[in-house]
């Protein structure tokens, strides 16, 4: 208030008094007046309402005619997937879920990919034979041509089969079926049989495509759903799970204890650094370990974001609360810094997957685009954005995808498949 001019002071005084308390000849005696603190008595707009207003303005422009359906999805109960715990005795789970029409969408996609590849190979053989006979080539030449073409096909489409880790199994109910899963149960050693999560959260993990022995960094790991999924691949040589929040890392420890046996937990290091400083605090150690053999440091950067579904439905811990306006406005900057830290942590050839659970292009594509520019201009690092469009085809029965992302892929909530939002983009450091 000290900085206000005369007019400002008068207006502030009016605001403090309120219209019914103007001092004047008929005003109440001083002792009967009660002081109004206008900031605390002004009607507080619910954070969920602020969030929805914000989404209506920005997402209707972005999604056009799709927005009403996405909005309805955001406001209705979300669907879950049951990530099977490979470390527990969980053979009973498929027997229990399959009669209820639940299916493992990862294995289904993997089978689909294999069928396509077989189809492509058969097509290649057929074409090779036609060309061979047309030009009077020998059978041997025709066979060699067909083989070469098959190999070229396989090279063109390695992401199809290869990127779908068949070890990850996640059950979902079919489109339009909103049956709920029972809570997870412990086996005889106390390990829980499955982990309930938004099934779309698995897509960034599948996109990362961890290979046997890889060093993996999960830069913003808590509460740990994706960390657990990364471990289910059985491929992590070492997994560094970091999260700045100590209270949330406690939850991550709980998940590791409830799902993962000790010998596998020993391959995981949990830290609570500011991920933006990863290179300074941990980079050296990691490069030493990761540089020894052919192992790569793969990085998952699952950043804090406006968590659109939560913001539209829950008052508690809502980032659209007036008090958190600055924090919300600074999110894209924090996301960019975290993504840059992930890129700098990755060795050449390694992959970085960036993900959010927001529909906002400012937090999604714009952050990735800016990171590509900075990596090139300031660090001389060139980055290839990997094409993940085959995810749309492979997983179209389970998720609703947005078909218009400039970079990366986006799962849209929809009443018949109410997962997401989930944005993910895969980068390869060259």
Ligand X SMILES: C[S@@+](CC[C@H](N)C(=O)[O-])C[C@H]1O[C@@H](n2cnc3c(N)ncnc32)[C@H](O)[C@@H]1O
Of 16, 62, 68, 52, nearest to 37 by C-alpha is 16
Tell me the CA distances in angstroms from 41 to 16, 44, 261, 317, 379, one per residue in order: 11, 8, 53, 21, 51
Comparing CB distances to ligand X, the nearer of 81 and 275 is 275
Nearest-angstrom CA–CA distance, 210 and 164: 10
Q: Does 225 bind ligand X (CB under 6 A)?
A: yes
Q: Does 275 bind ligand X (CB under 6 A)?
A: yes
Q: Which of 170, 236, 305, 357 is catalytic?
A: 357
Q: Does 240 bind ligand X (CB under 6 A)?
A: no
Interacting residue with ligand X among 21, 111, 245, 313 (CB under 6 A) = 245
Helix (H, G, I), strand (E, B) or coil at 57: helix
Interacting residue with ligand X among 51, 199, 222, 352 (CB under 6 A) = 222
Q: Does 274 bind ligand X (CB under 6 A)?
A: yes
Question: Smallest distance, Å, CB 276 to ligand X?
Answer: 5
Comparing CB distances to ligand X, the nearer of 150 and 260 is 260
Nearest-angstrom CA–CA distance, 8 and 131: 85
Q: Is 223 annotated as a binding residue?
A: yes
Q: Does 21 bind ligand X (CB under 6 A)?
A: no
DSSP 269: E
Dihedral (Cα; 270, 317, 324, 426), 10-degree rounding: 50
Q: Is 274 annotated as a binding residue?
A: yes
User: How many Cα atoms within 13 Å fall on the side-chain side of residue 87?
Assistant: 23
Comparing CB distances to ligand X, the nearer of 248 and 265 is 248
CB 347 within 8 A of CB 296: yes
Residue 357 annotated as catalytic? yes
Q: Is 226 annotated as a binding residue?
A: yes
Q: Does 361 bind ligand X (CB under 6 A)?
A: no
Question: Smallest distance, Å, CB 365 to ligand X?
Answer: 18
CB 75 within 8 A of CB 420: no
Four-residue CA torsion sign, 150, 154, 156, 161: positive
Q: Does 302 bind ligand X (CB under 6 A)?
A: yes
Comparing CB distances to ligand X, the nearer of 161 and 420 is 420
Helix (H, G, I), strand (E, B) or coil at 170: strand
Q: Does 336 bind ligand X (CB under 6 A)?
A: no
Interacting residue with ligand X among 73, 81, 161, 304 (CB under 6 A) = 304
Catalytic residues: 357
Binding-site residues for S-adenosyl-L-methionine sit at 220-226, 243, 274, 302
């Amino acid at each position: 208030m000290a900085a206000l001019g005369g007019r400002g002071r008068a207006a502030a005084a009016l605001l403090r008094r309120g219209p019914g308390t103007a001092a004047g000849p008929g005003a109440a005696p001083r002792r009967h007046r009660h002081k109004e603190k206008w900031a605390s008595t002004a009607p507080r707009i619910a954070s969920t309402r602020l969030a929805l207003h914000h989404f209506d303005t920005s997402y209707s422009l972005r999604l056009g005619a799709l927005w009403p359906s996405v909005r309805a999805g955001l406001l209705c109960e979300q669907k879950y997937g049951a990530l099977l715990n490979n470390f527990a005795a969980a053979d009973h789970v498929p027997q229990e879920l399959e009669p209820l029409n639940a299916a493992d969408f990862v294995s289904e996609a993997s089978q689909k990919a294999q069928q396509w590849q077989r189809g492509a190979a058969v097509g290649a053989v057929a074409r090779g034979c036609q060309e061979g006979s047309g030009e009077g080539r020998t059978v041997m030449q025709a066979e060699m041509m067909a083989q070469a073409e098959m190999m070229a096909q396989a090279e063109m489409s390695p992401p199809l089969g290869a990127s779908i880790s068949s070890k990850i199994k996640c059950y979902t109910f079919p489109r339009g079926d909103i049956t709920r899963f029972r809570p997870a149960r412990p086996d005889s050693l106390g390990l829980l049989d499955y982990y309930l999560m938004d099934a779309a959260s698995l897509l960034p993990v599948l996109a990362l495509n961890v290979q046997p022995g890889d060093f993996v960094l999960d830069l913003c790991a808590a509460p740990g759903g994706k960390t657990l999924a990364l471990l289910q691949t059985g491929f992590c040589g070492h997994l560094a799970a970091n999260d700045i929040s100590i209270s949330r890392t406690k939850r991550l420890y709980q998940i590791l204890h409830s799902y993962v046996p000790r010998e596998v937990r020993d391959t995981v290091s949990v830290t609570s650094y500011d991920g933006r400083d990863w290179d300074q605090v941990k980079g050296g150690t990691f490069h030493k370990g990761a540089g020894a053999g052919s192992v790569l440091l793969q990085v998952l950067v699952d950043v804090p974001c406006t968590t659109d579904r939560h913001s539209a439905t829950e008052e508690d811990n809502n980032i659209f609360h007036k008090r958190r306006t600055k924090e919300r406005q600074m999110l894209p900057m924090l996301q960019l810094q975290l993504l840059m830290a992930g890129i700098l942590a990755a060795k050449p050839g390694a992959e970085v997957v960036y993900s959010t659970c927001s529909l906002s292009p400012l937090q999604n594509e714009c952050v990735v685009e800016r990171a590509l520019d900075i990596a090139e201009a300031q660090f001389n690092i060139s980055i290839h954005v990997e094409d993940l469009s085959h995810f749309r085809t492979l997983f179209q029965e389970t998720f609703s995808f947005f078909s218009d992302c400039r970079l990366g892929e986006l799962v849209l909530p929809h009443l018949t498949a109410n997962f997401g939002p989930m944005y993910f983009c895969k980068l390869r450091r060259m």
